[in-house]
């Protein structure tokens, strides 16, 4: 198990900004989660001739809109600041013997690390809201639908486990090749360049094929859940639900399966994140070791000159 000092130091240094960003995003997701519920209430009230539900829905939607707008403006400022600080600090540690190709690749990987904090982590938070929140709200509509949703979690987990292992290996191979890119281009050999880019192309095709197969298997399970859930919820024990309730149930089933779709993506991104952190941390250690060695050599040289002078 390797350390995650780069990610840990970033979170610690920018913890207040990150806390505010993710808090705003959580409120935004809470609003998005509650909208189908209040939409259903609004429809039921309109059927009864009341505008109360529509007014409440409008207020919820307006609050969600304001929070989302503020969050989008704020997080760009936060994450561009993090990336600039990270890259300049990392590159400033390099020494004369540093591999420029590797440094270039790692500056690109640094962007991916910040992208994880900016895009992927909120995406994962959204999936958490969609899965857990939808199950909670579906329970209040119809508890039998929740059991159908739970039944799919185990096969999705098994599929995602094996998918994650394969993606980890492919991600490592791709990043290994990316670290050589600048050196290959600088060398200028046509055969080497063709070999390098063909290898990247083949790796990307393998990654894409794995994503496609995984997507297909997950969506088959999703179709089963949607079908059985709608059958159970639309007519249970001969009782037909209100139109607003059916709309609410259908929306939360879609949100739940949307969260399930995120699980394989999350596994893939965590595999990439771990590989990036490992490479950047290892390179930072090499810089520190090299710089310490140069400092010790310089100190010994200075002491030798002083002894000769004496």
The range of the structural domain enclosing residue 40 comes to 5-282
Whole-number pLDDT of residue 3:
43
Residue 72 lies in a domain: yes
| Alpha carbon distance 78, 106 (integer Å) | 21
Q: How far is CA 26 from CA 18, 81, 263, in A?
A: 12, 21, 19
Half-sphere exposure of 86 (CA within 13 A, CB side): 31
Tens of pLDDT, residue by residue over 109-152, are: 667 777 777 777 888 888 888 888 888 888 887 777 788 888 88
Please check whether residue 12 lies inside any domain of the structure: yes
**How are beta strands 239-240 and 235-236 bridged, if at all?**
antiparallel
Is residue 296 in a domain?
Answer: no
Q: Is the pLDDT of residue 47 over 80?
A: yes
Quote the percentage of the chain above a pLDDT of 90.
Answer: 1
Domain count, the chain: 1
Instruction: Give the pair of three-digit tokens for residue 37.
Output: 């519920």
| pLDDT tens per residue, range 217-274 | 877 877 887 777 767 766 554 455 567 777 788 788 888 877 877 777 777 777 777 7
Is the residue at 230 inside a domain? yes
Residue 111 lies in a domain: yes
As a whole number of angstroms, the distance between CA 306 and CA 217 comes to 73
Q: What is the pLDDT of residue 66?
A: 92
Query: For residue 148, what is the domain's CATH number?
Result: 1.20.1560.10
Give the pLDDT score at 244.
75
Average pLDDT of 280-284?
61
């Amino acid at each position: 198990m390797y350390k995650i000092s780069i990610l840990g130091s970033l979170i610690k240094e920018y913890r207040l900004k990150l806390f505010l960003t993710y808090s705003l995003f959580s409120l935004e997701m809470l609003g998005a989660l509650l909208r189908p519920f209040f939409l259903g209430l609004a429809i039921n009230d309109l059927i009864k001739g009341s505008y109360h539900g529509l007014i409440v829905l409008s207020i919820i939607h307006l609050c969600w809109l304001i929070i989302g707008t503020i969050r989008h403006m704020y997080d760009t400022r936060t994450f561009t600041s993090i990336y600039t600080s990270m890259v300049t600090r990392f590159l400033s540690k390099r020494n004369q013997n540093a591999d420029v190709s590797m440094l270039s690749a790692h500056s690109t990987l640094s962007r991916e690390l910040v992208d994880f904090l900016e895009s992927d982590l909120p995406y994962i938070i959204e999936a958490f809201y969609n899965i857990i929140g939808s199950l909670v709200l579906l329970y209040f509509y119809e508890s039998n639908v929740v059991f159908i949703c739970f039944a799919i979690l185990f096969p999705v987990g098994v599929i995602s486990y094996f998918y994650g292992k394969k993606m980890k290996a492919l991600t490592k191979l791709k990043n290994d090749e990316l670290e050589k890119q600048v050196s290959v281009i600088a060398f200028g050999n046509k055969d080497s360049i063709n070999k390098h880019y063909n290898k990247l192309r083949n790796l990307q095709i393998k990654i894409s094929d794995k994503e496609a197969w995984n997507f297909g298997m997950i969506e088959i399970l999703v179709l089963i859940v949607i079908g059985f859930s709608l059958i159970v919820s639309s007519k249970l024990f001969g009782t037909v639900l209100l139109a607003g309730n059916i709309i609410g149930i259908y929306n939360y089933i879609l949100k739940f399966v949307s969260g399930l779709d995120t699980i394989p993506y999350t596994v893939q991104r965590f595999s990439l994140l771990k590989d990036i952190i490992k490479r950047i941390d290892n390179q930072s250690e090499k810089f520190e070791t090299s710089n310490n060695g140069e400092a010790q050599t310089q100190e010994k040289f200075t002491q030798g000159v002083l002894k000769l002078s004496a």
